[in-house]
Structure 1
Amino acid sequence: MRHIHFILNPIAGKGSNFLDLALLEKYFNKKDFSIVIKPTSYKKHAIKLTQESINEKAHIIVACSGDGTINEVASCLVNSPIILGIIPIGSGNGLASNLNIPKNIHKALALIKTQTVKKIDVGTLNNLHFFSNTGIGFDAQVIKHYEASNERTLVSYIKATLKSLKKSNKLMDVETTLDDESIQHKPFLIFISNSNELGYKVSLTPKASLQDGKLDVLIVKEISAFKIFLFTVLMLFKSHHMLKEVNCYQTKQLKITLKDKLLFQIQMDGEFKMIKNQTINISILEKALKVIA
């Protein structure tokens, strides 16, 4: 018998999410499967629930949520034999989109039933994990304003972007060490990606792969207000690399050090975080997570 635990974020995406046990039993019969549904009640609750499911010998743990809760569940399963399943009900759903996991719940359940497993790479930042991307600078501020809006729509994401553009003159002074190259700069954006999509079909790193053992890094130098606008427009057409201020790299690890502060404001898989440290070390764990896709 296979034990499948569903961890549901009821307020992901547009909210009011519900999983019906009768629906699940249409795909997973009682003879071959044991089904458990665990709704989350607060931020990071998914971590506790996942750890409980691990102790309860779950074979598959399905995150029914957006990228933030998926991160909480998946972080507990890195280098584990337990398989991650995903039902994407968030707003952006970047990781699920990159894995071609359908938004339709019936199709997503049918995919989980096949139990076709991929091993994907995992990004690490100090002692944290990310599965899609992380970044400092402009994208972190967008996520900060997006979360503050308490709305999970494309319109609110656009509003957060415009609000961040108005405050984009406050640049950090950092040293970035990438392979053997050290860069002293005040970047508009440093974006580190494991996957090829941010969400909403938007991508800063369209050539990134979950299985190539490398991180795709995009560094945007200090740029004028007009170039910021141009960058945003070009990004929609995946042509932002045409700007001379945009530099693209691939690496297995990099280090970013703040020159004048001890607090990083970052986004990680679409969640805003603050890290009290002067240095962050970012690297890749190759094929460290089993996921149904």
Structure 2
Amino acid sequence: MKTKIIVNPISGTQNHRNIHKIFEKYLKDYEIVYTEYQNHAFEISKNLNKKFDRVIVAGGDGTVNECIRGLIDKDIILATLPCGSGNGFSLHNNIDTNLDNAIKNLSSYKEIKSDVWTINGNPFINVSGLGFDALIANSFSKLKNRGFSSYIKLVLKNIIAYKPQEYNIEIDNEEINTDAFFIAFANASEYGNGAIISPKSKINDGLLDIVIVNKFNKLLIPKLIFFIFKKRIHKFKKVIIKQGKMIRITPKSKESFLVHLDGEPKKISGSLDIRISKRKMKVLINE
């Protein structure tokens, strides 16, 4: 099996320049390339030669998203290694955080076809959203030192002052009007680092989980965070989780607003139209 390995050397909190030593131990017939700038992983994936059967992505969810955008029209297998700040998609798929073990066991992983979703035509495969988590994703993307502690500091710095926004939400044939703190679109279950935003999400069920965190008393913030890390966010009284295939969300404000796609921020105007892609992605999971 011919493999292309795409490494983001600055993802997460460690330098991954020496990861090639682990690949040398366990893999044969591969080519490795290190990304050098934003969207480089997308360019590599988009221009991938047909001789490759598999792509291994060593990076975080943002790097995975770049590769998804480039690979969506190709018949190729995707394997991910948790080398980023959060690694939600890899962790959802039970990929070992010990890179030596993860790479050694690649041959034993199961191939499944994962759903891919789009927001106004922009693909995502893990978790996306708008509201407070998009604000944090945008601020986090600008940091030089990106890690779990940096993310938590941003949350604590901004959470008290943030004001919920009014949204009109259409999920298939149901309509909801609400003031929401944030709305997450979960194909997989996890933001990363054990933060489970949608405990029952499955990446191959043809359904998107829409997690609506309605306006709540800020004194309950510790309880919400506790529930997220205990895989119990669905038990928080101000949380509604719906499933659907065709979703439209329209903010009451007419101004442009932030969303994030697998943690990567993007500014959008008007409504969000969320659809399932006609193409699925072959991914490796550790059952």
* TM-score normalised over the length of structure 2: 0.91
Whole-angstrom distance in 2 between the partners of 1:187 and 1:8: 37
1:44 Cα deviation from its structure 2 partner: 0.8
Whole-angstrom distance in 2 between the partners of 1:5 and 1:19: 17
CA RMSD of aligned residues (A): 2.0
Which aligned pairs between 1:250-261 and structure 2 lie closer than 5 A? 250-261=243-254
Whole-angstrom distance in 2 between the partners of 1:239 and 1:147: 27
Match of 2:3 in 1: 4
Matched residue of 2:162: which SS? coil
Match of 1:110 in 2: 104
User: Relative to structure 1, is the Cα distance of residues 21 and 167 closer, same or farther in structure 2, using a 3 angstrom cutoff?
Assistant: same
User: Relative to structure 1, is the Cα distance of residues 237 and 128 closer, same or farther in structure 2, using a 3 angstrom cutoff?
Assistant: same
Alpha carbons 1:27, 1:113 under 8 Å: kept: no
Alignment of 1:228 onto 2:221: yes
Alpha carbons 1:124, 1:130 under 8 Å: kept: yes
Match of 1:270 in 2: 263
1:237 Cα deviation from its structure 2 partner: 2.3
Alignment of 1:283 onto 2:275: yes
1:57 Cα deviation from its structure 2 partner: 2.8
Task: Show structure 1 runs of 5+ residues with no match.
Answer: none
Aligned length: 285
* TM-score normalised over the length of structure 1: 0.89
Whole-angstrom distance in 2 between the partners of 1:7 and 1:189: 32
Correspondent of 1:100 among 80, 90, 94: 94
Cα deviation digits, residues 99-140 of structure 1 (max 9, x gap)? 111122222222334464221111211111111111111111
Match of 1:167 in 2: 161
Match of 2:16 in 1: 17
1:7 Cα deviation from its structure 2 partner: 0.8
Alignment of 1:50 onto 2:45: yes
Amino acid in structure 2 at the alignment position of 1:289: M
Alignment of 1:205 onto 2:205: no
Cα deviation digits, residues 138-178 of structure 1 (max 9, x gap)? 11122223233322222111101112213212x33321111
Correspondent of 1:36 among 31, 34, 42: 31
Amino acid in structure 1 at the alignment position of 2:32: I
Alignment of 1:64 onto 2:63: no
Correspondent of 1:91 among 63, 71, 85: 85
Identity value in percent: 32
Alpha carbons 2:198, 2:233 under 8 Å: kept: no
Amino acid in structure 2 at the alignment position of 1:88: P
Cα deviation digits, residues 22-44 of structure 1 (max 9, x gap)? 64343233xxx2x2111111111
Match of 1:152 in 2: 146
User: Relative to structure 1, is the Cα distance of residues 238 and 24 closer, same or farther in structure 2, using a 3 angstrom cutoff?
Assistant: closer
Matched residue of 2:237: which SS? coil
Match of 1:248 in 2: 241
User: Relative to structure 1, is the Cα distance of residues 287 and 114 closer, same or farther in structure 2, using a 3 angstrom cutoff?
Assistant: farther
Which aligned pairs between 1:178-189 and structure 2 lie closer than 5 A? 178-189=171-182
Task: Show structure 2 runs of 5+ residues with no match.
Answer: none
Whole-angstrom distance in 1 between the partners of 2:64 and 2:150: 21
Whole-angstrom distance in 2 between the partners of 1:182 and 1:22: 53
User: Relative to structure 1, is the Cα distance of residues 65 and 21 closer, same or farther in structure 2, using a 3 angstrom cutoff?
Assistant: closer
User: Relative to structure 1, is the Cα distance of residues 22 and 218 closer, same or farther in structure 2, using a 3 angstrom cutoff?
Assistant: closer
1:290 Cα deviation from its structure 2 partner: 0.4
1:55 Cα deviation from its structure 2 partner: 3.0
1:274 Cα deviation from its structure 2 partner: 1.5
